[in-house]
Amino acid sequence: MTGAKPSTAERLARNRFELDEDESHIEVHQDVVRATGCGPVLVAVCPARVYAEREDGGLDVEYAACLECGTCRAVAPPGALTWHYPRGGFGVSFREG
Amino acid sequence: MTEPDFDVVVVGAGPAGSVTAALLARQGHSVAVIERGESPGSKNLSGGVLYSRVLEDVFPGCLDEAPYERRVTRNEVVFLTPESAVGLDVASDRLADPVNAVTVLRARFDPWLAAQAEEAGAYLMPGVRVDRVLTAPGGSGAAGRRVVGVQAGEDELRARVVVAADGVNSFLAREAGLRPQPPTHHLAVGVKAVLTLPEHVIEDRFGVSGDEGAAIAYVGDCTRGVGGGGIVYTNRSSLSVAVVLRLDDLVAKGLAAADVFEHFLAHPRLARYVRGAQVVEYGSHLVAEGGWDMLGEVVSDGMVVVGDAAGLTINSGLTVRGMDLAIGSAVAAAAGVSAALEADDVSAAGLSGYRERLLAGTVGRDLRTYAKAPAFLERPRVYGDYGRLLEEIMVDVFRLDGTPRKHLARVAVDALRRSPVRLRDLASDALAGVRAL
Ligand SMILES: Cc1cc2nc3c(=O)[nH]c(=O)nc-3n(C[C@H](O)[C@H](O)[C@H](O)COP(=O)(O)OP(=O)(O)OC[C@H]3O[C@@H](n4cnc5c(N)ncnc54)[C@H](O)[C@@H]3O)c2cc1C
Ligand code: SF4
């Protein structure tokens, strides 16, 4: 790598995303997240660093950077997230894969 | 009753979906393939080693035109500790001729596969997300419903058979009640970057020439001890670098997936390969890791499940196989679905020929062979202590520091004594390993 290794944000910046301005494909149910304390786990597992913890124990979500892997959904306790794929044609588009 | 729009609707234009569609269309059935990506492959990534024989069976001579990157002629397995690497490097003409495996980049390879389906007569609908299956009363299952098509937004598409080829997260199979959400020890997250380098630099660094390529698998410190591994595969003018991390262990260790990936990229053993390279893409995708234990129902009334959606992946620790199994399941499914359509019985019983063909063929046989591999790979020593032990032994063998030399067996026994690995652990792991792999 040239110089310092790129951060996740820099790596993500190379990808092509078709942003769906009208609809987030990830919905966080803050009450469940706070009650189960799953916030830190979701922050950690996401390779795109989509989640960030809020001071009240809830989660912010930057759905535009999502790589659509489904990892968060697989480890989240029931009811914490509503997660589906973005609408057809939206979201990340890999040019290499 | 509404007339079906197609004999078969395939959801997902990955290898499983496109090959199923191509084979069914070849046999004269009307087939639609629905893909949520703006083009096939745009949502897909893999490590990239495709064991290509099964593809050549479906499309004879295809390696002359399919957009693959390099023929894999060199395989290496490396145990990594923070400072060292002990590897086994295999280069053999028998891996090169006939071609055993090629590397692929999915955004280039999947469109070619989908084009083969279109050429055979299938109708491709990219940029469309299927939201749910359509059902109607009837069928043999507990719910008393059978699948009669799919819904995408406002549109309904009716089919005599729906093929769920929608990948590891398969919403379709889950929604149809066919397959429960897999437990986290049956799933891993793959985190990958593609890094560009000039062709001649790749050839020099990896000791290959022409269209030859290398596939290197890493175990140990590459994942900071999390169950899984790392890979570096050569493409024509880029490298695929990835870690695969078992979800239960990643969560248990409290590590961040992105941090583990960065740790691997920065490992001194990797620096020699990636120096000067530019990251052109970063992605992640789930990997099915359960093997045989994950294979549940693959057939229901009006629907079959193929590829990753059916959990068909084999991770032996040394190789990740999914694309060839996806293609293998597609071959079995196309035969089973075709027979059901011709007999005009698309019930679960009518479609059960798919499951039989799947289990009797290479896919079923290999899944059974590696049935114990996932449990073996959950043994934690594989990811830490053994790398260290191998390092101690090999360093002792080569380091002539003036102390009297010992026979190899003595070196090994002494290293084992210093290591946290107990002899009975070693014996038990060795036995389990031999049985599982
Ligand atoms: C990091 C990593 C490394 C890997 N390494 C290897 C390797 O070296 N060799 C190997 O053989 N395998 C490897 N695999 C596994 C391999 O990628 C998969 O097994 C293979 O892609 C499965 O093919 P498939 O057709 O079943 O599913 P996929 O390729 O996942 O295709 C599913 C398709 O369905 C589409 N889809 C999903 N839902 C919908 C919907 N609702 N509506 C419309 N379309 C939908 C998707 O967009 C996608 O195109 C690896 C996987 C990962 C993640
Ligand atoms: S799907 Fe993957 S990339 Fe998207 S938010 Fe979840 S973990 Fe992050």
Q: Is the omega angle on the peptide bond into residue B268 within 30 degrees of 0, that is, cis?
A: no
Q: What is the DSSP letter of B302?
A: T
> What pLDDT, on a 0 to 100 scale, did the predictor assign at position B35?
98
**Closest-CA distance of chain A to residue B80, Å:** 20
More confident residue, B424 or A6: B424
3-state SS class at B200? helix
Query: pLDDT digits over B373-387, tens only?
Result: 887 777 777 777 877
> What pLDDT, on a 0 to 100 scale, did the predictor assign at position B175?
86
Label residue A89 left, alpha or beta by phi (over 0 means left) and psi (-120 to 50 means alpha): left
Mutate to test the interface with A, among B129, B155, B226 (most CBs of A within 10 A): B129
- Among B63, B52, B60, B51, smallest CA distance to B26 is for B60
Query: pLDDT digits over B98-108, tens only?
Result: 899 999 999 99
Nearest-angstrom CA–CA distance, B225 and B234: 25
Report the run of H or E that residue B268 belongs to, with start and end. helix B268-274
Q: Has residue A52 got a pLDDT over 90?
A: yes
Pocket test for ligand 2, best of B168, B247, B284, B287 (most atoms within 8 A of CB): B284
Nearest-angstrom CA–CA distance, B100 and A63: 40
B240, B231 contact by CB (below 8 A): yes
- Average pLDDT in the B270-289 region? 94
Residue A5 — pLDDT band, cuts 50, 70, 90?
low
Of the ligands numbered here, which is closest to the C-alpha atom of A74?
A: 2
Nearest CA to ligand 1 atom 38: B166
Could you say which residues from 107 to 136 on chain B have a Cβ atom under 8 Å away from some Cβ of chain A? Answer: 107-110, 126-129
Nearest-angstrom CA–CA distance, B54 and B131: 31
Contacts of A50 in chain B (CB under 8 A): none
> What pLDDT, on a 0 to 100 scale, did the predictor assign at position B316?
76
> What pLDDT, on a 0 to 100 scale, did the predictor assign at position A4?
46
Residue B315 — pLDDT band, cuts 50, 70, 90?
confident
Task: Work out the widest C-alpha separation in chain A, in whole angstroms.
Answer: 44
Q: Has residue B312 got a pLDDT over 90?
A: yes
Contacts of A32 (CB under 8 A, 6+ apart): A38, A77, A79, A80
Q: Has residue B335 got a pLDDT over 50?
A: yes
The per-type count for chain A, helices as H runs and strands as E runs, is 4, 6
- Average pLDDT in the B231-253 region? 97
Facing B284 at nearest CB: one of A69, A86, A91: A69
**Closest-CA distance of chain B to residue A77, Å:** 12
B158, B134 contact by CB (below 8 A): yes
Angle of helix B15-26 versus helix B106-119 axis, rounded to 10: 10
Q: Does ligand 2 lie within 6 Å of residue A69's CB atom?
A: yes
Query: pLDDT digits over A54-73, tens only?
Result: 999 999 999 999 999 999 99
Residue B154 — pLDDT band, cuts 50, 70, 90?
very high
- Average pLDDT in the B34-54 region? 96
Burial class (CB in 10 A: 0-12, 13-18, 19+), B259: middle
3-state SS class at B90? strand
- Average pLDDT in the B340-368 region? 95
Matching residue, tokens 């769906």: A20
Nearest CA to ligand 2 atom 7: A46
Q: Has residue B87 got a pLDDT over 90?
A: no
Inter-chain residue contact B282 with A46, CB threshold 8 Å: no
> What pLDDT, on a 0 to 100 scale, did the predictor assign at position A2?
39
Nearest-angstrom CA–CA distance, B292 and B289: 9
Of the ligands numbered here, which is closest to the C-alpha atom of B305?
A: 1
Bridge partners, residue B103, by sequence: B49
Q: Has residue A3 got a pLDDT over 50?
A: no
- Average pLDDT in the B152-180 region? 94
Inter-chain residue contact A1 with B277, CB threshold 8 Å: yes
Inter-chain residue contact B275 with A1, CB threshold 8 Å: yes
B122, B33 contact by CB (below 8 A): yes
Nearest-angstrom CA–CA distance, B55 and B102: 11
Query: pLDDT digits over B390-412, tens only?
Result: 888 778 778 888 888 888 888 88
The backbone torsions φ and ψ at residue B363, rounded to the nearest 5 degrees and listed phi first, read: -60, -50
**Closest-CA distance of chain B to residue A83, Å:** 11
Query: What is the separation, in whole angstroms, between the first and last Cα of chain B?
Result: 51
Could you say which residues from 210 to 229 on chain B have a Cβ atom under 8 Å away from some Cβ of chain A? Answer: none
Facing A96 at nearest CB: one of B105, B127, B266: B105
Nearest-angstrom CA–CA distance, B52 and B125: 26
Q: Has residue B361 got a pLDDT over 60?
A: yes
Q: How far is CA B420 from CA A89, B221, B228, B348, B388, in A?
A: 52, 16, 21, 52, 10
> Which pair of tokens denotes residue A26?
């990830």
> What pLDDT, on a 0 to 100 scale, did the predictor assign at position A55?
92
What's the full length of chain A, in residues?
97
Pocket test for ligand 1, best of B10, B166, B171 (most atoms within 8 A of CB): B166
Facing A11 at nearest CB: one of B41, B254, B279: B279
> Which pair of tokens denotes residue B67?
């957009």
Query: pLDDT digits over B366-375, tens only?
Result: 998 888 888 7
Label residue A69 left, alpha or beta by phi (over 0 means left) and psi (-120 to 50 means alpha): alpha
Query: pLDDT digits over B116-136, tens only?
Result: 999 999 999 999 999 999 999
Facing A95 at nearest CB: one of B107, B257, B285: B107
Residue of A nearest to B239 (CA): A96
pTM for the full predicted model: 0.93
Query: pLDDT digits over A10-50, tens only?
Result: 888 888 899 998 889 999 999 999 999 999 999 999 999 99
Inter-chain residue contact B282 with A8, CB threshold 8 Å: yes
- Average pLDDT in the B50-59 region? 96
Matching residue, tokens 């990219």: B126
Q: Does B281 touch chain A (CB under 8 A)?
A: yes
Question: Strands, DSSP E only, in B155-197?
Answer: 155-164, 187-196
Query: pLDDT digits over B210-232, tens only?
Result: 999 999 999 988 899 899 999 99
Ligand 1 binding site (Cβ under 6 Å of any ligand atom): A 85; B 11-17, 34-37, 43-44, 46-50, 129-130, 165-167, 171, 190, 192, 242, 244, 285, 287, 307-309, 313, 320-324, 326
- Among B177, B167, B169, B180, smallest CA distance to B306 is for B167
Nearest CA to ligand 1 atom 18: B322
